[in-house]
Chain A
Amino acid sequence: MSQLAQTPQQREPARTIFQKGAPGRRAFVCPALDVPAVDPGELLPARFRRTEPPRLPEVSEPEIVRHYVGLSKRNFDLDSGFYPLGSCTMKHNPRLHERVAALPGHARLHPLQDPASAQGALELMWRLQNALAEVSGLPHVSLQPSAGSHGELAGVLLTRAYHEDRGERRHKVLAPDTSHGTNPATVTMAGFELVKLATNADGGVDLDDLRAKADEDVACLMLTNPNTLGLFDPNISEIAEIVHRVGATLYYDGANLNAVMGLSRPGDMGFDIVHFNLHKSFTQPHGGGGPGSGPIAVSDRVAPYLPVPVVVRRTRTGTTPSGAHASEDGAYDLDYERPKSIGRLRGFHGNYGCFVRSYAYICSLGGDGLRDASETAVLNANYLLARLREHGVAEYLPLAYGELCMHEFVLSGGPMKRELGLKTLDLAKRLLDFGFHPPTVYFPLLVDEALMVEPTETETKETLDAFAEAIAAILKEAAEDPQIAQGAPYSTPVRRLDEVAAAKRPVIREVLA
């Protein structure tokens, strides 16, 4: 046991809900049987019946409340502190969004009810589509995909459909070696082979490598701009031109959209397909790992292949095409008449609960507000970067690429490891003791001992200063005694956990009596 005193939470062992309660306790009271009783054997033959009830807990309501409220207190969260996770855009989640999402007129709608009875909901989706089209610069939107990676799959399947419709079967998709892990998996699931592109010395796509690899067997180039190094690729127009010249599509991973809303649009950069993460730039709460929503916006040439259904506006004479400048009359509907569609990617029409929240956010900010958000996000990132380039920090955690950054930046912990014996992991764990959530660690793989920092526009200058001071303090401490950080964290509900043991002998459920 540690020599240090234990905190009350550390003293309390973890017990699951299955280890609580007692036989006979209950919370649920079943409504009385009000229909005539029938011999159960007549209703359901014995061979179809479960012989033993599932061993769910037997607990009372107060026990449930105490258990889960207690668990909540073993979590760090965004409402409680700074959360500079690179690539995750941990911006404030306004509680208004929860209030409006809970209105029965939004929360208690069945997805299969007639469109005539859901005009408010369909109008909300229509307006959200239009807003996303305006932000991206691409007119045709599908709200269906369930998350960013789902939107990526949609994008690659759309690309495949586009080429097949032209009588071509291409086999390769290009992506930079800095790309997010979801990109390669998506490519394989859609039946393509991933070919990696080199990054140049400035952190952008290596144009020579792109020219060498862009041929007519390439279906698509998947990029994010700014990229995972937080750098806007100055060659983006030329990249688009190279890709389009061989007839391939250009796909935009919207994970970093928070840097450019109202400042630059993927459609104007030359992208054909954009996916959005509503749980990033549009402040759908992360929920501890979902739900999210990953709508996509596409160019005219890719529009015919969009998943069904699409939200449209009917007029007496036909259907108004989607887009920011569509006519303002007519009923809203779900359109299934799309003969070239790739089909469905999920049940029903998407994560409406997320649409309500993101729509409320867009209404609150307006066009100028979205631009302000991006400008402030970039300002905050550059300011924090400037503070971390001061003496005492920069020599151990240098910026990996570039001079300025967009909304996030990547530092390398290589010098820290060599000179202080501290890995990026140790720095992250020691930050927990200082009350901060650490930045993203060990991504992108291109950077040695990477630390990816994204403060977002939510944070005040005071918070950024405090964070920079904490980093400086930890480095100073490590110069004297690296073992402190190597043994961190000390003050969290549990201390450093053995991930190797968890992988070697996986225990993924409670063993029940």
Chain B
Amino acid sequence: MSQASYPAELLYHPEHDWARISAEDPQLATFGITWYAQDALGEVVFFEAPALGTKLAKDAPYTEVESVKAVSDVVAPMSGEVVEVNEAVTANPGIINEDPYDQGWLVKVRLSDPSERESLLDVAAYMATLAG
């Protein structure tokens, strides 16, 4: 994805991670990294998914993505338990660069505290942090 893009319906974490709360089930969320993060890294060559059942803590790193030149922590925007991982991305990490928000999702999480969403940024606030 060559043009910067930040979907309005997502919630953002200042460490360049996003969360999408499921419309059908407010206790289920999908996490990933933003366009800014994949652009800074360059082409992603390796992503190791956490094991199913791993407990994530808000603001804490839960895995890493690696490009040729850099590695970056992936930070959990909210707390919960990993219920699904994106096998396609593990097999072909470049998907994260091509489509960081849809095909490039990383994990699906059963949230332990949905109210944590209040502390996340909306798209305008997140883009403001990029400008600064």
Contact = CB atoms under 8 A, between A and B. Distances in A.
B80 interface: no
Interface string B38-68: 0000010110000000000000000000111
Of B45, B66, B94, most buried by chain A (CB within 10 Å of CB) is: B45
Contacts of B69: 442
B77 interface: no
A503 interface: yes
A500 B67 CA distance: 8
A504 interface: yes
A504 B95 CA distance: 13
Contacts of A502: 68
Contacts of B93: 504
A12 interface: no
- Size band of the A side of the interface? under 10
The binding surface of chain A is classed by DSSP as: helix
A503 B43 CA distance: 10
Contacts of A499: 68
A499 B43 CA distance: 10
Nearest to A442: B69
Most buried by B among A442, A499, A502, A504: A504
Nearest to B43: A500
A415 to B, nearest CB: 20
Nearest to A503: B45
Contacts of B67: 500, 503
A134 to B, nearest CB: 41
A494 to B, nearest CB: 17
B31 to A, nearest CB: 23
Contacts of B66: 503
Nearest to B70: A445
A125 to B, nearest CB: 40
Interface in A56-88: none
Contacts of A504: 45-46, 93-94
A502 B45 CA distance: 9
Nearest to B69: A442
Nearest to B94: A504
A502 B46 CA distance: 11
A500 B93 CA distance: 11
A503 B93 CA distance: 11
A442 B69 CA distance: 10
A502 B93 CA distance: 14
Contacts of B68: 499-500, 502-503
A423 to B, nearest CB: 12
A143 B45 CA distance: 40
Interface string A182-193: 000000000000
B37 to A, nearest CB: 17
B124 to A, nearest CB: 27
A81 B18 CA distance: 50
Contacts of A500: 43, 45, 67-68
A206 to B, nearest CB: 20
B129 to A, nearest CB: 19
Nearest to A504: B45
B29 to A, nearest CB: 29
A125 B117 CA distance: 64
A169 to B, nearest CB: 25
A503 B45 CA distance: 6
Contacts of A442: 69
B108 to A, nearest CB: 25
A204 to B, nearest CB: 25
A171 B41 CA distance: 30
Interface in A342-356: none
Contacts of B94: 504
A500 B66 CA distance: 11
B109 to A, nearest CB: 27
A478 B88 CA distance: 40
A490 to B, nearest CB: 23
Nearest to A445: B70
A186 B69 CA distance: 20
A502 B43 CA distance: 12
A503 B46 CA distance: 8
A503 B65 CA distance: 12
Interface in A493-507: 499-500, 502-504
A442 B46 CA distance: 22
B64 to A, nearest CB: 14
B45 to A, nearest CB: 4
Interface of A: 442, 499-500, 502-504
Given A499-B68, A503-B66, A503-B68, 8 more contacts: A442-B69, A500-B45, A500-B68, A503-B45, A503-B67, A504-B45, A504-B93, A504-B94
16 contacts: A442-B69, A499-B68, A500-B43, A500-B45, A500-B67, A500-B68, A502-B68, A503-B45, A503-B46, A503-B66, A503-B67, A503-B68, A504-B45, A504-B46, A504-B93, A504-B94
Interface of B: 43, 45-46, 66-69, 93-94
Enumerate the 9 nearest inter-chain pairs by beta-carbon distance, A residue then B residue, closest first: A503-B45, A504-B45, A503-B68, A499-B68, A500-B43, A500-B68, A500-B45, A503-B46, A504-B93
